[in-house]
Structure 1
Amino acid sequence: MAGQVKEYDYLVLGGGSGGVASARRAAEFGIKVACIESKKLGGTCVNVGCVPKKIMFHAASLAESLHDMKSYGFTIDGTPQFTWNTIKTSRDAYIQRLNGIYENLLKKSGVEYVQGWGTFTDDGCVDVDGQKYRGKHTMIAVGGKPTVPDIPGAEFGITSDGFFELSDLPKKTAVVGAGYIAVELAGIMSELGSDVSLFIRHDKALRNFDEMISDNVTDSMEKSGITIVRQSTSKKLEVATDGSLTYETTAGTFSGFNCVIWAIGREPLTKSIKLENIGVNVDKKGNIVVDEFQNTSAQNVYALGDVCGKALLTPVAIAAGRRLAHRLFDNKPDLKLDYEDIPTVVFSHPLLALLD
């Protein structure tokens, strides 16, 4: 009943890939575990990240292969037609099935699933809609969200989350950003038939990657038909009288867009969970500060995944979460994730892979 604190050996705040993996692994050791999540289970990866993005990338790759079919002896009568709503409907149904699978996995593992937004109280509990939960050990894996620029009219654009809500393929799209999310979304939209412009602050996409990779990806994008606007910083986004979007930047003003996608980075979801109540330190960007064993500044409180701002990759969060469970509940005090030499794949056109 509400008002009575519910006690657990392991309390996980966040039902994304890292949180679910850690909770399920910990439950294997016969302890009492609960996982708190306010949105759909699976986190960013399952709902608005890796999984639906790969589906859209595959659709774009099929469109890309049509260009070369004649050279390989295939005859296509007429112009192939693509219907955005068809792939959206099947993609969304698949994600919904995955949400159910995640919930069943928690249930089969003996992990209690608590649906709601959790915030820390000054007595070390997590409050969800008036009900308090306390863990002997508490792990934070609430993930992050896309960053929106602080400019007039920013609300008229969408983020990578909004990309998966689009009901139609925009005829003309602006993608703002130079990182892997921007590169991937620009490539998908372009191959599926949108007129895409990529706005970057410097001269190359993927500027923080290996120089050879950055050069070649930037060149390939331009050759594929994507317009790259360099040395561009956002100033203003406006809705024109015809309903189209006009985007003002330091490189000039560009008009006629049906969709503007902000892909300028991500930020941790730490501001609204009241970490100050339990003394968990964050850096200037809001990322939770942890040591090599995922320990925060608060005793028996841990954090992993995107909320820590390092190696924002699903397999990394899963691996860190499982190792933490073994360290805490399987008598393996020295077990931790090695963050060196983590492989990365960017679903650009063409694909690229590297060791970070």
Structure 2
Amino acid sequence: MAEFDYDLFVIGGGSGGVRAARISATHGAKVAIAEEYRMGGTCVIRGCVPKKMLVYGSHFAEDLHEAYRFGWDIEGAKFDWPRLRDIVQTDVDRLEGLYAVNLGNVGVEIIEQRAVLTGPNEVQLADGTKVSAKYILVATGGWPAQAGCPGEEHALTSNEIFHLEKKPENIVIVGGGYIANEFAGIFHAFGSNVTIANRSDKILRPYDQEIVGRLLDISVAKGITYRLNAPLEKIEKNVDGTVTVHFKDGGPSQTADVIMVATGRVPNSGNLGLEALGVDLDKSGAITVGDDNKSSVDSIYAVGDVTNRVQLTPVAIREGHAFADSVFGGNPRTISYDNIPSAVFSSPPIASVGLTEDEARAKYGEHIKVYRSDFNPMKNVVSGRDERALYKMITQGPEEIVIGIHMIGPESSEILQGAAVAVVGKMPKKVLDDVVAIHPSMAEELVLFK
């Protein structure tokens, strides 16, 4: 008889766990995956996928307004939030089904129950069943941080915002990161009055601050209000259903239909039995792992946001794949966390890879050169939209090795994916200079820096 019920038991059906389960099964492992809510995790169910669909929907607000300048007469256009909300959720259902199908096709057993660890090789399901596995992979992801003040239960997070019964006329979004700025752009485009309230004086801290400054200027010009240095004091629910947020900065309180807290995400590691087994957690609750994704207990591994290394879906997927190849595929490998491209799907979007200008100056001093292209995209010229794009390229040393590219402007996230090769590949700027430009395009600015 087999020593264990499974070769691998995965807790969590998000991007990292699903990839690890599927690839491990293709390597011949007997695999089960437990998910207590819906297959697909944060990204598919309540994160980047439905959010990007809302972003697409929000683009029509400006495009329809500007259509006249391109020869189109659009009369009677109006926005229907419940229609978009329901269409988005229908596609989420479709994607969830695909995840289950793909796992089933390679023989992974799906268990629709919560699972907790009861031993280094044992988990217990919600119905009381205990099963054993040679290896256990924790891939439970992250969870939205709460407001951390009295009345926090009256605020929504990114988990609930997709399911609003109606579009808010007024919304206060607490936080200054990518989630806050993305939803600010979305709801402003849908016609809501939007305020971003941030406890510090900076938004989007990891991004190049010149690029961030351009977003701030554009957002304020559109009518989005920013309250900086405004930590929360308390949140109150009013008799009429509205919510009032009070601030510690002494400024006026603010009442809105919805208060959304978007102050970050924390590892979803609680009540899994980890501490009792001696699995090391850091102060944020993240599972501490090595480059091989192994925890302090030899049979227990972890990937994705529960490890709090880089909270990005593509990173979790790569970690899950590397785990499967290493443990079951006979191909031990790790992944690099250097020069990971990222994007903020704000309005307009930001895209970034490599060192920011401040980081480059701190590391290399005066041995860097910064190239800028500050231009008005052709579409904006015709439409009359007053939003200039800004591209930056940062190089280092006499060979001008490209160490950072940062952009804000239409389709910047699509354009950066290819350009990121220059940073990851440590290419000299001359390589880009030798590329013939695609004209007319916004992307050509990346090969025309002077």
Q: Tell whether 2:52 aligns with 1:68.
A: no
TM-score (norm 1): 0.95
Is the 1:16–1:142 contact (alpha carbons within 8 Å) kept by the matching residues of 2?
yes
Q: Tell whether 2:126 aligns with 1:126.
A: no
Query: Alpha-carbon deviation of 1:9?
Result: 0.8
Deviations 1:16-41 (A, max 9, x none): 01101110001011121111111100
Q: How does 1:111-150 map to 2 (within 5 A)?
A: 111-122=108-119, 124-128=121-125, 129-150=127-148
Paired residue secondary structure (2:252): strand
Tell me the matched-pair count. 350
Rg: which structure is higher? 2
Residue 295 of structure 1 is matched in structure 2 by 294
Q: 2:36 aligns with which of 35, 38, 41?
A: 38
Task: Give distance in 2, aligned partners of 1:41 and 1:151.
Answer: 32
Which runs of no fewer than 5 residues in structure 2 stay unpaired? 355-450
Task: Give distance in 1, aligned partners of 2:260 and 2:164.
Answer: 11
Deviations 1:47-81 (A, max 9, x none): 00011001100000111222322222222224x21
Task: Give distance in 1, aligned partners of 2:201 and 2:142.
Answer: 28
Q: Tell whether 2:96 aligns with 1:99.
A: yes
Query: Alpha-carbon deviation of 1:106?
Result: 1.0
Deviations 1:82-120 (A, max 9, x none): 000101111111111111111111111100111111111
Residue 318 of structure 2 is matched in structure 1 by 319
Residue 174 of structure 2 is matched in structure 1 by 176
Query: Alpha-carbon deviation of 1:6?
Result: 6.2
Residue 216 of structure 1 is matched in structure 2 by 214
Q: Tell whether 2:267 aligns with 1:268.
A: yes
Residue 332 of structure 1 is matched in structure 2 by 331
Query: Alpha-carbon deviation of 1:285?
Result: 0.6
1:162–1:207: structure 2 CA closer, same or farther, 3 Å change rule?
same
1:208–1:123: structure 2 CA closer, same or farther, 3 Å change rule?
closer
Is the 1:170–1:258 contact (alpha carbons within 8 Å) kept by the matching residues of 2?
yes
Which runs of no fewer than 5 residues in structure 1 stay unpaired? none
Q: How does 1:17-96 map to 2 (within 5 A)?
A: 17-78=15-76, 80-96=77-93
Task: Give distance in 2, aligned partners of 1:77 and 1:164.
Answer: 28
Q: How does 1:198-217 map to 2 (within 5 A)?
A: 198-217=196-215
Paired residue secondary structure (1:67): helix
Residue 254 of structure 1 is matched in structure 2 by 253
Task: Give distance in 2, aligned partners of 1:122 and 1:17.
Answer: 25
TM-score (norm 2): 0.76
Task: Give distance in 2, aligned partners of 1:318 and 1:122.
Answer: 26
Residue 310 of structure 1 is matched in structure 2 by 309
1:165–1:223: structure 2 CA closer, same or farther, 3 Å change rule?
same
Residue 109 of structure 1 is matched in structure 2 by 106
Is the 1:25–1:325 contact (alpha carbons within 8 Å) kept by the matching residues of 2?
yes
* One-letter code aligned to 1:224: K
Paired residue secondary structure (2:78): coil
* One-letter code aligned to 2:314: P
* One-letter code aligned to 2:80: T
Higher-RCO chain (CA-CA 8 Å, sequence separation at least 6) = 1
Paired residue secondary structure (1:253): coil
Residue 277 of structure 1 is matched in structure 2 by 276
Task: Give distance in 1, aligned partners of 2:292 and 2:211.
Answer: 33
Is the 1:237–1:245 contact (alpha carbons within 8 Å) kept by the matching residues of 2?
yes
Query: Alpha-carbon deviation of 1:202?
Result: 2.1
Is the 1:176–1:264 contact (alpha carbons within 8 Å) kept by the matching residues of 2?
yes
- Root-mean-square deviation (CA, aligned residues, Å) is 1.4
Task: Give distance in 2, aligned partners of 1:226 and 1:268.
Answer: 31
* One-letter code aligned to 2:118: T
Paired residue secondary structure (2:172): strand
Task: Give distance in 1, aligned partners of 2:166 and 2:62.
Answer: 19
Residue 342 of structure 1 is matched in structure 2 by 340
Task: Please say which of residues 122-131 and 218-227 is displaced more in the overlay.
Answer: 122-131
Paired residue secondary structure (1:121): strand
Paired residue secondary structure (2:280): coil
Task: Give distance in 2, aligned partners of 1:207 and 1:330.
Answer: 39
* One-letter code aligned to 1:120: L
